[in-house]
Amino acid sequence: MTRRLKVFLPILGALLLLLSIFLAGRLFWRETGATAMEVTRLPPTACDLNQMACRVELPGGGDLTAELTPRPLMPLQPLTARLILRDVPAESALLAFSGVNMDMPFDPVPLRETAPGQFIGQTALPICVTGPMRWRAEFSVMYRHRQIVAEFLFDSQ
């Protein structure tokens, strides 16, 4: 066997292996029905989470009720986030906060399912050194390659 052939055969073998992995992955992707996540963002509601639990109707039926306690919502105080879903087969849920009048995003909090359609999680708002802060709370629900995001605005002191 020539020297060139000895170098070429392992390279050809590696390329064939990569090609077969790529084709198998494409076939698996197609067979499992994997698709991109469809995201539906609901407009912010007029309901204030600092005053009460808030309920929104979801497109396609069902509703979502979100609650943050204890109230009033204060920075650096432990908060309990509750999410109750009716007629929505949720697979998972998240809560994400971000500042409205100042860019203060932080990592989403996964909510754990405690009963069918009921999720709970613990978090806290960061402190804002400039005083009162307007916040956006986004409750995200994932199911059947869909994500629905319900947005609520509230103020903290």
One pLDDT digit (tens) per residue for the chain, 157 residues: 677 667 666 665 655 555 556 655 565 555 445 568 899 999 999 899 999 999 999 988 999 999 999 999 988 899 999 999 999 999 999 999 988 888 776 789 999 999 999 999 999 988 766 678 889 999 999 998 899 999 999 998 7
Looking at the structure, tell me whether residues 140 and 124 fall in a common domain. yes
What's this model's pTM, rounded to 2 decimal places? 0.74
Looking at the structure, tell me whether residues 7 and 65 fall in a common domain. no
Token duo for residue 142: 């994932």
What span, in angstroms and rounded, lies between the C-alpha atoms of 52 and 50? Answer: 6
Range of the domain at 123: 38-156
- As a whole number of angstroms, the longest Cα–Cα distance in the chain is 81
Instruction: Report how many domains make up the chain.
Output: 2
Taking CA atoms, 8 is separated from 1, 4, 19, 100, in Å, by 11, 6, 16, 59
Alpha-carbon dihedral 100, 101, 105, 109, rounded to 10 degrees: -40
In contact, 117 and 84? CB cutoff 8 Å: yes
Looking at the structure, tell me whether residues 46 and 22 fall in a common domain. no
Q: Is the peptide bond prior to 70 cis by the omega test (within 30 degrees of 0)?
A: yes
